[in-house]
Amino acid sequence: MKNEVSWRTKILVRLMMLCMAITLAGIALSAPSESSYISQAATYRVKEAGVESPVTAVLIHFRGYDTMLEVTVMLLVAIGAMAVGKNQDESQPALLAQKEETLLTNPMIRLLLPIMLMVSIYYLWAGAKKAGGAFQAGTVLGSMGIMLLLAQKLHSSNRESALWRILLVVGPFTFVTLSFVSIFFGNAFLDFPQFMNSQLIFCIEAMVSISTGAIFCVVFARCSNLSFSEKQ
């Protein structure tokens, strides 16, 4: 890494930041204060989309294309982490030296796992009405997976096994495929056929949350000091 920065550069950079802050604040103060017209459009056209929460309507219906690419971005991180992350033979397991089960972990996992699963499913279900949705559900699933990884109940092999790959890719794949299929029903891309709109969206959300969870697990496994081996 670079050496210590000289004090002249420091002062220069800080002055630049000050100027930038003042300019940006000045611009922000000049902004109009009435709310923009498409935000109003978004609020009154929510009913057309068939969901109650306006944010969900924007994320899934009005700007679902952004969400599709965003899910792809998350998959990219998993692909990158699998290629770049450490190999299993490179380091010793530092976090968990002993392999024998302790008194605490097993009961804790038995207690926590069902609760976390419930919370995750609740988030998935609540997404249509209030705060919640695929990413939140996926985060809980991911933390469940990380807990299992830490307790060495879950193993991810070095060459990520076929199952892991499919778990990682199933969310983005379902999202893109089902959006694409609606073309053959005479609809636009991402415009799901009316008769099974909500079922398709629920299916996509469920798959995306599974993939999100899997991505978190893989990135955690690759990033952390743990090493994972095939189950003996």
Contacts to another protein from residues 184-213, by CB under 8 A: 187-191
Residues 12-41 that bind another protein (CB under 8 A): 13-14, 17-18, 20-21, 23-39, 41
23 or 106, CB closer to another protein?
23
Count residues binding another protein (CB under 8 A): 89
137 or 222, CB closer to another protein?
222
112 or 183, CB closer to another protein?
183
- State the nearest-atom distance from the C-beta of 113 to another protein, in Å: 24
Sole window of 4-12, 108-116, 122-130, 143-151 interacting with another protein (rule: CB under 8 A): 4-12
- State the nearest-atom distance from the C-beta of 158 to another protein, in Å: 8
Please tell me the number of Cα atoms within 13 Å of 193 on its side-chain side: 10
With residue 147 as reference, give the H or E element that holds it.
helix 134-150
79 or 119, CB closer to another protein?
79
Query: 188 — phi, psi (to 5°)?
Result: -80, 165
- State the nearest-atom distance from the C-beta of 176 to another protein, in Å: 6
CA dihedral 63, 65, 70, 75 (to 10 degrees): 150
Cα–Cα distance measured from residue 185 to residue 109, given in angstroms and rounded to the nearest whole number: 46
Handedness of CA 126, 50, 134, 53 (dihedral sign): negative
Residues 62-121 that bind another protein (CB under 8 A): 62-67, 69-70, 72-77, 79-86, 90-91
Residues 123-162 that bind another protein (CB under 8 A): 135, 159-160, 162
Q: Is 58 in the site for another protein (CB under 8 A)?
A: yes
DSSP state, 192?
A: -
75 or 147, CB closer to another protein?
75
- State the nearest-atom distance from the C-beta of 96 to another protein, in Å: 17
- State the nearest-atom distance from the C-beta of 225 to another protein, in Å: 8
111 or 166, CB closer to another protein?
166
- State the nearest-atom distance from the C-beta of 104 to another protein, in Å: 28
Residues 168 and 213 sit within 8 Å (Cβ to Cβ): no
Cα–Cα distance measured from residue 79 to residue 76, given in angstroms and rounded to the nearest whole number: 5
Under 8 Å CB-to-CB from 228, ≥6 apart: which residues?
88, 149, 155, 156, 157, 158, 221
CA distances from 49 to 67, 88, 197, 200 (A): 16, 47, 10, 14
